[in-house]
C-alpha cells in the first residue's frame, strides 16, 4: 500500500473577487492603498503645494474648514512601500516638518471587492483614483468607522440586505452627482482598530453632510456601528493629475 501523504491546510486565497466576466469569476491581487494625514500650524498652503507639485506623488491637499491653520494630505499608490519611500521623506522635509501632526485623523486603508463588481480592476484601481483626483469635486469628508461584532454574526443573506440598503443610498447620491464615496478596508492597519475608512467627495459640501444624515437611518449605521469618526472636512487646494 502506498504511503498516505498527509497535507497541511490549504493556503488562503487572498485575491479580490468580482462578478462573472466571459464565463469566469474576476480575480485580482492588485489593490490601491490610500493614506491620510492631518496637520495644524499651517498658515499658508502655497509652500506645501509647491513642494507637492514636483514630487510626482499622487494625492490631494485639503484645507481644513474647521481649523484655520489645518490641512489634510491624502496620498495613494498600489505599493505600500510608497508611503515610506516617497511620502515619509516629503513629510520630514523642510516644508512639512514644522507642522503639527494630528494623529487622531491618521488613516490608512486599501480598496476591496464585495464579489459582484462587473469591472473588478476599475473598482479596485481606477475609479477610486478618478474620484479623489477629479478637480470638479473639491470638497471631501474623510472618517474611519468600526462595525459592531454583532454584524459579523449575522447570516450572509441578512448582511447583504443591510449592505444593499446602505449601498442604494450611495448610488442615488452618486447618480445625481451629489456625492461620490471611497470605501477602504483598514483591518489591522488602523491604530484604533477601525474596520473601514470612508471618503465622501463632491462639488459642494452640503450633499456630503446630507448623505451622512440619510445613512444614519439605515440598519447598518443605527444598529451595527460601534464607532464613527472623527470627521475631517476640507476642500482641495491641490490635486495631482488623474492619469
pLDDT (tens place) for every residue of the chain, 243 residues total: 455 676 788 899 999 999 888 889 999 999 999 999 999 999 999 999 999 999 999 999 999 999 999 999 999 999 999 999 999 999 999 999 999 999 999 999 999 998 888 999 999 999 999 999 999 999 999 999 998 888 889 898 888 888 888 889 999 999 999 999 999 999 999 999 999 999 999 999 999 999 999 999 988 888 888 889 999 999 999 999 987
What does the angle CA 74 – CA 61 – CA 180 come to, to the nearest 5 degrees? 65
Architecture of domain 33-239: 2-Layer Sandwich (3.30)
For helices 205-215 and 156-175, what crossing angle results, to 10°?
A: 160
C-alpha to C-alpha distance for 41 and 169, rounded to whole angstroms: 37
C-alpha to C-alpha distance for 62 and 199, rounded to whole angstroms: 13
CB atoms within 10 A of CB 185: 16
In the chain, which ranges are continuous DSSP H helix?
46-52, 81-82, 88-91, 120-121, 127-133, 149-152, 156-175, 205-215, 219-224
C-alpha to C-alpha distance for 149 and 225, rounded to whole angstroms: 9
Amino acid at each position: 500500500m502506498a504511503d498516505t501523504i498527509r497535507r497541511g491546510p490549504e493556503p488562503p486565497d487572498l485575491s479580490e473577487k468580482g462578478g462573472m466576466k466571459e464565463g469566469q469569476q474576476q480575480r485580482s491581487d492588485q489593490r490601491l492603498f490610500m493614506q491620510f494625514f492631518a496637520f495644524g500650524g499651517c498658515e499658508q498652503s502655497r509652500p506645501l503645494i509647491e513642494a507637492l507639485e514636483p514630487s510626482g506623488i499622487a494625492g490631494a491637499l485639503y484645507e481644513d474648514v474647521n481649523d484655520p491653520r489645518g490641512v489634510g494630505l491624502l496620498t495613494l499608490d498600489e505599493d505600500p512601500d510608497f508611503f515610506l519611500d516617497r511620502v515619509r521623506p516629503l513629510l520630514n522635509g523642510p516644508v512639512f516638518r514644522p507642522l503639527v501632526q494630528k494623529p487622531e485623523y491618521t488613516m490608512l486603508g486599501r480598496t476591496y471587492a464585495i464579489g459582484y463588481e462587473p469591472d473588478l480592476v476599475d473598482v479596485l484601481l481606477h475609479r477610486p483614483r478618478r474620484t479623489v483626483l477629479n478637480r470638479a469635486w473639491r470638497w471631501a469628508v474623510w472618517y474611519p468607522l468600526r462595525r459592531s461584532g454583532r454584524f459579523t454574526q449575522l447570516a450572509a443573506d441578512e448582511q447583504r440586505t443591510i449592505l444593499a440598503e446602505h449601498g442604494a443610498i450611495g448610488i442615488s447620491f452618486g447618480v445625481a452627482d451629489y456625492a461620490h464615496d471611497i470605501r477602504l478596508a483598514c483591518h489591522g492597519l488602523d491604530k484604533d482598530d477601525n474596520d473601514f475608512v470612508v471618503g465622501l467627495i463632491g462639488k459642494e459640501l452640503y450633499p456630503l453632510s446630507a448623505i451622512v444624515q440619510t445613512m444614519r437611518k439605515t440598519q447598518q449605521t443605527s444598529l451595527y456601528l460601534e464607532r464613527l469618526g472623527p470627521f475631517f472636512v476640507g476642500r482641495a487646494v491641490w490635486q495631482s493629475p488623474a492619469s
